Structure 1
Amino acid sequence: MNKHELKSFLDEKVRMYNNPNFIETDPIQIPHLFSKKEDIEIAGFLVATIAWGNRKSIINNGQRLMEMMEGAPFDFVMNFSEKEAASLSTFVHRTFNSYDLVYFLRALQNIYRNHGGLERVFAKNAGADSMQAAIHHFKKTFFELPHATRTEKHVSDPLKNSAAKRINMFLRWMVRRDTAGVDFGIWKSIPPALLSCPLDVHSGNVARKLKLLTRKQNDAKSLLELDTNLRKMDAADPVKYDFALFGLGVFEGF
């Protein structure tokens, strides 16, 4: 395919997958349970954090987590104290356990009480052409409270050559805005042009087959290469092509 044919092909796949039917099989269904901005943010962040492995397991554990938080994530975070920690002791998703969860809730409480909330922390360090430095600074803020080093592995750092798939996915959910009804677009202070594709095994393999990516690793350098090529097709909304790459890989075995 030439560049024009490739763009037309991917645009069609975006239209195919970027619709409410996508929500039914995706972890984004968890934050879609809520209408309050802070509930959406917190549910989205926590579910994105555990978004690796089997998608059904991710969704089931996301639903379980929301039940543990009494169906009100923001209120639960803001009123969280040690006495609530015991009620979370059975939560585990792969290597993310209840100890990690308790720290995440403390850190989120700190961000909303002392840093103006999740959107403000990301927005104040947004770069001129990407959100990767903002993710790095977010991680520093997130882990400013006393914590076990092991918990840091659950928030990736692009400046340490991570593709940061889960945080980039969370940012897509919060920032991207259109009329399709999948992404929320509730963070108005960050332009969608700065977003990066959530690069994982599925989107990476499809991108390589379509010559959008040449590097074999799914790391920060590969993400930059992919972002550069996606921005050539749509500079204002490059990460919409995540729907096409992911859909081709997961649903069509491309």
Structure 2
Amino acid sequence: MNENELKDFLDEKVEQYNTTKFIESDPIQIPHLFNKKEDIEISGFLTATIAWGNRKSIINNATQMMALLDNSPYDFVKNHQEKDLESLLPFVHRTFNGTDFITFIKALNHIYNNHEGLEAVFNKTANNESLQMAISQFKSHFFEIEHLPRTQKHVSDPLKNSAAKRINMYLRWMVRPNTTGVDFGIWNSLSPSQLSCPLDVHSGNVARKLGLLKRKQNDAKALLELDTALRKLDPTDPVKYDFALFGLGVFERF
């Protein structure tokens, strides 16, 4: 396929998969349970944090997370007492355990009390080309509170050559406009043109088969290569192609 044919093919796949039907089997359904901006962004962040492994397990455990937060994540983050955190201790999703969960609640409280909230802390260091530096700075602010070193692995750092798949996915949820009812578009201070594609096994394999990516590892260097290719196809909304790459990989075994 030449570039025009590839763009037409991928645009068609975006249209196919970027619909509300996509929500039924995707972790993005968790923040869709809420209406308040802060509830959406906190539930989305916690869900994205545990979004690795079996998707059914991710959805079940993220649902459990919300129940432990009384299905009012912002209120819990802002107003919890120390004793309220004890109920979070039994939680576990793979290597993310109750201690990590408690640290995340305290860190989110710190972000809202000292950095004006999740959107503001990302926007503070965002640049026009990419949000990868902003992700790294977010991690620094997130762990300004007391924490165990083990918990840091649950927030990726692009400056340490991570593709930061889960947090890039989260940023897509928050920033891309809600034109088809899938993404939320509630962070107006950031632009879809700044987003990076959530790069994982599925999207990486499809991107390589389509000639969008040559690097074999799914790391920060591969992400930059893929971003560059996708920005040529659509500089204003490059990450819409996540729907195409993901759909082709997961649903069509491309």
Q: Tell me the TM-score range normalised by the shorter chain.
A: over 0.9
The amino acid across from 2:175 in the alignment is: V
Write the mapping of 1:1-254 to structure 2, written as runs, cut at 5 A: 1-254=1-254
1:179, CA displacement in angstroms? 1.3
Q: Which amino acid aligns with 1:233?
A: L
Q: Is the 1:125–1:137 Cα contact (8 Å) retained in structure 2?
A: yes
Residues 59-82 of structure 1, C-alpha deviations (whole Å, 9 max, x = no match): 000111111111100001111232
Which runs of 4 or more aligned residues in structure 1 lie more than 2 Å from their structure 2 counterparts after TM superposition? none
Deviation at 1:92, TM superposition (A): 0.3
- Is the Cα–Cα contact under 8 Å of residues 96 and 154 in structure 1 kept in the other structure? yes
Deviations 1:132-185 (A, max 9, x none): 000000000000011110000000000000000000000000000141010000
Tell me the distance in 2 between the aligned counterparts of 1:128 and 1:181.
26
- Tell me the SS of whatever aligns to 2:25: coil
Aligned counterparts of 1:38 and 1:158: Cα–Cα separation in 2 = 25
Q: In the aligned structure 2, how far is the partner of 1:69 from the partner of 1:221? A: 37
Q: Which runs of 5+ in 2 are unaligned?
A: none
Question: Aligned partner of 1:177: which letter?
Answer: P
Question: C-alpha distance in 1, partners of 2:44/2:178?
Answer: 18
Q: Do the aligned residues in 2 keep the contact of 1:7 with 1:233 (CA within 8 Å)?
A: yes
Segment drifting more, 47-56 vs 81-90: 81-90
Indicate conservation of the 8 Å contact 1:80/1:106, yes or no.
Answer: no
The Cα offsets for residues 82-124 of structure 1, whole Å up to 9 and x where unpaired, read as 2012111210000000000000000000111111000000001
Secondary structure of the structure 2 residue equivalent to 1:24: helix
Q: 1:239 and 1:173 mapped to 2: Cα distance?
A: 10
Whole-angstrom distance in 2 between the partners of 1:120 and 1:23? 27
CA deviation map 1:194-237 (0-9, x unaligned): 00000000000000000000000000000000000000000000
Distance 1:49 1:217 in 2: 21
Cα offset, 1:36, TM superposition? 0.2
Q: How many residues end up aligned between the 2 structures? A: 254
Deviation at 1:251, TM superposition (A): 0.2
Sequence identity of aligned pairs in percent?
70
Q: Do the aligned partners of 1:27 and 1:55 also contact (CA within 8 Å) in 2?
A: yes
Residues of 2 paired with 1:241 and 1:23: CA distance?
16
SS class of match (2:179): coil
Query: What CA distance in whole angstroms lies between the structure 2 residues aligned with 1:167 and 1:92?
Result: 19
CA drift at 1:245:
0.1
Deviations 1:36-65 (A, max 9, x none): 000000000000000000000000001111
For the Cα contact (< 8 Å) 1:176–1:185, is it kept in 2? Answer: yes
**TM-score (structure 1 length as normaliser):** 0.99
Residues 4-30 of structure 1: CA deviation (Å, up to 9, x unaligned): 000000000000000000000000000
Residue 128 of structure 1 deviates from its aligned partner by: 2.4
